[in-house]
Amino acid sequence: TQLLEQSPQFLSIQEGENLTVYCNSSSVFSSLQWYRQEPGEGPVLLVTVVTGGEVKKLKRLTFQFGDARKDSSLHITAAQPGDTGLYLCAGGRTNAGKSTFGDGTTLTVKP
Amino acid sequence: ETGVTQTPRHLVMGMTNKKSLKCEQHLGHNAMYWYKQSAKKPLELMFVYSLEERVENNSVPSRFSPECPNSSHLFLHLHTLQPEDSALYLCASSQDLESPLHFGNGTRLTVT
Which of A42, A48, A104 faces B100 most closely, judged by CB atoms?
A48
Does A45 sit within 8 Å of B102, measured CB to CB?
yes
DSSP code, position B83 = G
> What amino acid is encoded at B48 in this protein?
V
Side-chain half-sphere CA neighbours of B78 within 13 A:
23
Q: Is the pLDDT of residue A85 over 80?
A: yes
Q: What is the mean pLDDT of residues A52-78?
A: 96
**Is the CB of residue B98 less than 8 Å away from at least one CB of chain A?**
yes
Predicted confidence at residue A96, as pLDDT, reads 45
Residue B91: is its pLDDT beyond 50?
yes
> Minimal Cα distance from A38: which residue of B?
B105
% of chain A exceeding 90 in pLDDT: 80
- Considering only CB atoms, which chain B residues are within 8 Å of A35? 101, 103
pLDDT, tens digit, 9 for 90 and up, residues A14-26: 999 999 999 999 8
**C-alpha to C-alpha distance for B28 and B19, rounded to whole angstroms:** 27
Whether A103 sits inside 8 A of B41 (CB atoms) is: yes
Q: What is the pLDDT of residue A95?
A: 46
Question: What are B16-53's pLDDT values in tens digits?
Answer: 889 999 999 999 999 999 999 998 788 999 999 998 88
Q: Write down the pLDDT at residue A58.
A: 95
String of DSSP letters for A57-98 = EETTEEEEE-TTSSEEEEEESS--GGG-EEEEEEEE-TTT-S
Q: Region B62-86: what's the mean pLDDT?
A: 95
The size of chain A, in residues, is: 111
* Cis amide bond preceding A8, omega within 30: yes
- CB contact under 8 Å between B43 and A44, yes or no, is no
Contact with chain A for residue B105, Cβ under 8 A: yes
Contacts of B50 in chain A (CB under 8 A): 97
Measured distance CA(A6)–CA(A73) in Å, rounded:
9
* CA–CA distance, B80 with B63 (Å, rounded to integer): 6
Peptide bond into B69 cis (omega under 30): no
At residue A47 the predicted structure's pLDDT band, cuts being 50, 70 and 90, is: very high
